[in-house]
Chains A and B, each alone.
Chain A
Amino acid sequence: MSGPRHPGFDTLALHAGSAPDPATGARATPIHFTSSFAFHDADHGAALFNMEQSGHVYSRISNPTNAVLEERIAALEGGVAGIATASGQAALHLGLSTLAGAGDHIVASNALYGGSHNLLAYTLRRFGIETSFVDPRDIDAWRAAIRPNTRLLFGETLGNPNLDVLDIPTLSALAHAHDVPLMVDATFTTPYLQRPFDLGADLLLHSATKFLCGHGTAIGGLLVDGGTFDWQAAHERSGRFATLCEPYDGFHGMVFSEESTVGAFALRARREGLRDFGAAMSPHNAFAILQGIETLGLRMERHLVNTRRVIDFLVAHPAVASVAYPELESHPDHALARRILPRGCGAVFTFELKGDRAAARRFADGLQIFSHLANVGDAKSLVIHPASTTHFRVPAEQLAARGITQGTLRLSVGLEDADDLIDDLKRALKLAQKGA
Chain B
Amino acid sequence: MLLDVHGHQAYCYTGGKAFDPALPAIVLLHGAQNDHSVWALQSRALAHAGLAVLAPDLPGHGRSDGPALTTVEAMADWLIALLKTAGAGRALLAGHSMGSLIALETASRAPASVSALALIGTTYPMRVSDALLETAHTDEPAAIEMVAGWSHSSFVPGPSTAGPGVSVVNVARRLMQRMSARNPSGLLHTDFAACNSYANGEAAAASLHCPVLFVFGKQDMMTPPRSTALLTGAVKHGAVVHVDAGHAMMAEAPDAVRSALFDFAQSVPMRS
Q: A4-B149, A67-B160, A230-B178 are in contact. Are A263 and B254 (CB under 8 A)?
A: no
Do B149 and A56 touch across chains, with their CB atoms under 8 A apart?
A: no
Docked complex Cα distance between A262 and B168 (Å)? 11
Checking B36, B149, B165 against A83 with a beta-carbon cut-off of 8 angstroms, the contacting residue is: B165
Checking A51, A226, A232, A266 against B165 with a beta-carbon cut-off of 8 angstroms, the contacting residue is: A266
CB-based nearest B residue for A47 = B45
Docked complex Cα distance between A266 and B41 (Å)? 16
Do B45 and A1 touch across chains, with their CB atoms under 8 A apart?
A: no
Do B167 and A71 touch across chains, with their CB atoms under 8 A apart?
A: yes
* B6 within 8 Å of A (CB atoms): no
* B16 within 8 Å of A (CB atoms): yes
Q: Which residues of B contact A1 (CB under 8 A)?
A: 129, 131-132, 134-135, 146
* B127 within 8 Å of A (CB atoms): no
Do A52 and B48 touch across chains, with their CB atoms under 8 A apart?
A: yes
Do B149 and A64 touch across chains, with their CB atoms under 8 A apart?
A: no
Checking A3, A62, A78 against B170 with a beta-carbon cut-off of 8 angstroms, the contacting residue is: A78
1/0 contact trace for B198-240 toward A, CB 8 Å?
Answer: 0000000000000000000000000000000000000000000
1/0 contact trace for B6-42 toward A, CB 8 Å?
Answer: 0000000100100000000000000000011100110
* B63 within 8 Å of A (CB atoms): yes
* A54 within 8 Å of B (CB atoms): yes
Q: Which residues of B contact A52 (CB under 8 A)?
A: 41, 44-45, 48
1/0 contact trace for A255-286 toward B, CB 8 Å?
Answer: 00011111100100010000000000000000
Docked complex Cα distance between A191 and B48 (Å)? 40
* B264 within 8 Å of A (CB atoms): no
* A82 within 8 Å of B (CB atoms): yes
* B3 within 8 Å of A (CB atoms): no
Scoring B41, B145, B164, B254 by chain A CB atoms within 10 A of each residue's CB, the highest score goes to B164
Do A15 and B156 touch across chains, with their CB atoms under 8 A apart?
A: yes
Checking A3, A62, A79, A232 against B164 with a beta-carbon cut-off of 8 angstroms, the contacting residue is: A62
* B110 within 8 Å of A (CB atoms): no
Docked complex Cα distance between A68 and B156 (Å)? 11
Checking B36, B134, B159, B175 against A68 with a beta-carbon cut-off of 8 angstroms, the contacting residue is: B159
CB-based nearest B residue for A54 = B163
* Minimum distance in angstroms from B166 CB to a CB of chain A: 5
Q: Which residues of A contact B109 (CB under 8 A)?
A: none
Q: Which residues of B contact A74 (CB under 8 A)?
A: 165-167, 170
* Minimum distance in angstroms from A262 CB to a CB of chain B: 4
1/0 contact trace for B31-61 toward A, CB 8 Å?
Answer: 0000111001100110010000000000000
Q: Which residues of A contact B175 (CB under 8 A)?
A: 227, 261-262
Q: Which residues of A contact B170 (CB under 8 A)?
A: 74-75, 78-80, 227
* Minimum distance in angstroms from A261 CB to a CB of chain B: 4
Do B164 and A56 touch across chains, with their CB atoms under 8 A apart?
A: yes
1/0 contact trace for B160-202 toward A, CB 8 Å?
Answer: 1111111101110011011001100000000000000000000
Q: A52-B48, A74-B166, A270-B164 are in contact. Are A67 and B159 (CB under 8 A)?
A: yes
Docked complex Cα distance between A78 and B148 (Å)? 13
1/0 contact trace for A53-76 toward B, CB 8 Å?
Answer: 110100001111011101100110
CB-based nearest A residue for B41 = A54
Docked complex Cα distance between A6 and B171 (Å)? 15
Do B162 and A50 touch across chains, with their CB atoms under 8 A apart?
A: no
* Minimum distance in angstroms from A31 CB to a CB of chain B: 14
* Minimum distance in angstroms from A349 CB to a CB of chain B: 32
Q: A4-B146, A67-B159, A260-B40 are in contact. Are A53 and B165 (CB under 8 A)?
A: no
Do A53 and B167 touch across chains, with their CB atoms under 8 A apart?
A: no
Do B165 and A54 touch across chains, with their CB atoms under 8 A apart?
A: no
Scoring B45, B149, B163, B165 by chain A CB atoms within 10 A of each residue's CB, the highest score goes to B165
Do A254 and B178 touch across chains, with their CB atoms under 8 A apart?
A: no
Q: A228-B174, A261-B35 are in contact. Are A53 and B164 (CB under 8 A)?
A: no
Q: A52-B48, A262-B37, A262-B171 are in contact. Are A7 and B156 (CB under 8 A)?
A: yes
Q: Which residues of B contact A70 (CB under 8 A)?
A: 164-165
* B268 within 8 Å of A (CB atoms): no
Q: Which residues of A contact B178 (CB under 8 A)?
A: 227, 230, 261-262
* Minimum distance in angstroms from B196 CB to a CB of chain A: 15
Do A81 and B163 touch across chains, with their CB atoms under 8 A apart?
A: yes
Q: Which residues of A contact B163 (CB under 8 A)?
A: 54, 81
* A16 within 8 Å of B (CB atoms): yes
CB-based nearest A residue for B150 = A4
* Minimum distance in angstroms from B40 CB to a CB of chain A: 6
* B255 within 8 Å of A (CB atoms): yes
Do B44 and A263 touch across chains, with their CB atoms under 8 A apart?
A: no
Do A54 and B162 touch across chains, with their CB atoms under 8 A apart?
A: yes
Docked complex Cα distance between A17 and B156 (Å)? 6
* A396 within 8 Å of B (CB atoms): no
Q: A6-B149, A227-B171 are in contact. Are A62 and B159 (CB under 8 A)?
A: no
A-B contact pairs, 10 of them (CB 8 A): A6-B145, A15-B156, A50-B44, A67-B164, A67-B165, A80-B167, A81-B165, A228-B177, A259-B40, A266-B166
List of 5 A-B pairs having minimum Cβ-Cβ separation, nearest first: A70-B165, A4-B149, A227-B174, A62-B164, A1-B131
**Extra pairs beyond A54-B41, A79-B167, A227-B174 (14, CB < 8 Å):** A4-B149, A50-B44, A53-B41, A54-B160, A62-B165, A64-B160, A71-B165, A74-B167, A79-B170, A80-B166, A81-B165, A259-B40, A262-B171, A262-B174
Instruction: List chain A positions with a Cβ less than 8 A from chain B.
Output: 1, 3-7, 11-12, 15-19, 47, 50-54, 56, 61-64, 66-68, 70-71, 74-75, 78-84, 226-228, 230, 232-233, 252-254, 258-263, 266, 270
